[in-house]
Amino acid sequence: MSAPATAATRTVPSPRQYARRQSRLRSMAPAVFGLVSFFGLWQLLVMITNTPAFIVPAPTVVAKRLWEELPDYAYEFSFTLAAAGIGLVIGTVVGIIGAVLMTNWRPLEKSLFPLAVVLKLVPFVAIAPLLRIWLGYELQPKIVLATLITFFPVLVNCISGLRSTDPLTLEFFRSVGSSRWEILTRLRWMTTLPYLYAALKVNVNLALAGAIVGELFSSKNGIGMVINETALNLDIPAMFAAVMFLAITGVSLTLFMNWSERRVLVWHESVRTSGGR
Amino acid sequence: MVDRVSKTFETADASVEAIREVSLDMREHEFVTLIGPSGCGKSTLLRIIGGLIDPTTGRVELRGRSPHEAQRTKDIGFVFQQPALLPWRTVAGNIELPFELNKGAGTDRLCSTEEILALVGLAQFAKAHPYQLSGGMQQRVAIARALIFDPALLLMDEPFGALDEITRAGMRYELLRIWGDTRKTVLFVTHSIPEAIVLSDRVVVMSPRPGEIREIIDIKLPRPRNEEIESAPEFVRIADHLRHLLKA
Q: Which helix (H) or strand (E) holds B9?
A: strand B2-10
Nearest Cα residue to B16 out of B43, B49, B41? B41
Quickly state the pLDDT bin for B4 (edges 50, 70, 90).
Answer: low
Do A175 and B102 make contact, defined as CB atoms within 8 angstroms? no
**Least confident among A13-17, A176-180, B18-22, B32-36:** A13-17
In whole angstroms, give the CA distance from residue B90 to residue B108. 22
Q: Which helix (H) or strand (E) holds B22?
A: strand B15-24
Q: If chain A, 277 residues long, is cut into consecutive pieces of 10 residues, what is the mean pLDDT of each piece?
A: 42 66 78 90 90 86 91 92 94 95 88 85 83 82 90 93 93 92 92 93 92 84 89 89 92 91 82 55
Residue B79 or A231, more confident: B79
The pLDDT tens digits of the residues spanning B108-124 come to 788 888 888 988 888 89
In whole angstroms, give the CA distance from residue A28 to residue B1. 65
Do B87 and A268 make contact, defined as CB atoms within 8 angstroms? yes
DSSP 3-state assignment of B128? coil
Res A8: pLDDT: 40
Res A85: pLDDT: 94
The pLDDT tens digits of the residues spanning B153-189 come to 999 999 998 888 888 888 888 888 888 888 889 999 9
Tell me how far apart the terminal alpha carbons of chain B are, to the nearest angstrom: 27
In whole angstroms, give the CA distance from residue B212 to residue B33. 14
**Angle, CA B9 vertex, CA B60 and CA B193 arms, to 5°:** 65
Nearest Cα residue to A74 out of A249, A237, A239, A230? A249
Min Cα separation A257/chain B (Å): 19
Do B105 and A190 make contact, defined as CB atoms within 8 angstroms? no
Do B80 and A187 make contact, defined as CB atoms within 8 angstroms? no
Q: Which helix (H) or strand (E) holds A261?
A: helix A236-264
What is the share, in percent, of chain B residues with pLDDT greater than 90? 31
Do A175 and B50 make contact, defined as CB atoms within 8 angstroms? yes
CB B150 within 8 A of CB B117: no
Do A186 and B101 make contact, defined as CB atoms within 8 angstroms? yes
Nearest Cα residue to B17 out of B35, B44, B37, B36? B44
Tell me how far apart the terminal alpha carbons of chain A are, to the nearest angstrom: 15
Res A146: pLDDT: 92
Within 8 A by CB and 6+ apart from B66, the residues are B51, B60
Chain B residues with CB-CB distance to A194 below 8 A: none
Please give the model's pTM, rounded to 2 decimal places: 0.81
In whole angstroms, give the CA distance from residue B49 to residue B62. 8
In whole angstroms, give the CA distance from residue A136 to residue A277. 43
Is a pLDDT exceeding 60 seen at residue B127? yes
**Angle, CA B129 vertex, CA B199 and CA A276 arms, to 5°:** 140
Res A274: pLDDT: 56
In whole angstroms, give the CA distance from residue A55 to residue A257. 35
Q: How many CB pairs under 8 A join A and B?
A: 66
Res A188: pLDDT: 94
Residues of B within an 8 Å Cβ radius of A: 47, 50-52, 71-74, 76-78, 80-82, 84-88, 97-98, 100-102, 105, 129, 131-132, 145, 149, 155
Nearest Cα residue to A9 out of A25, A21, A27? A21
In whole angstroms, give the CA distance from residue A169 to residue A162. 13
Q: Which ipTM value was assigned to this complex?
A: 0.89
CB A235 within 8 A of CB A69: no
Q: B185-190 and B153-157: which strand pairing?
A: parallel
Q: Which of B50, B81, B101 sits opposite A173 (nearest CB)?
A: B101
Q: Which of B50, B72, B82 sits opposite A168 (nearest CB)?
A: B82
Name the DSSP class of A185: I
- Sign, Cα dihedral of A255, A259, A260, A261: positive
In whole angstroms, give the CA distance from residue B168 to residue B173. 9
Within 8 A by CB and 6+ apart from B235, the residues are B197, B221, B229
In whole angstroms, give the CA distance from residue A213 to residue A221. 12
In whole angstroms, give the CA distance from residue A248 to residue A70. 12
Res B180: pLDDT: 86
Q: Chain B contact for A179, CB < 8 A?
A: yes
Name the DSSP class of A13: -
CB B190 within 8 A of CB B81: no
CB B74 within 8 A of CB B108: yes
The pLDDT tens digits of the residues spanning B202-217 come to 999 988 878 888 889 8
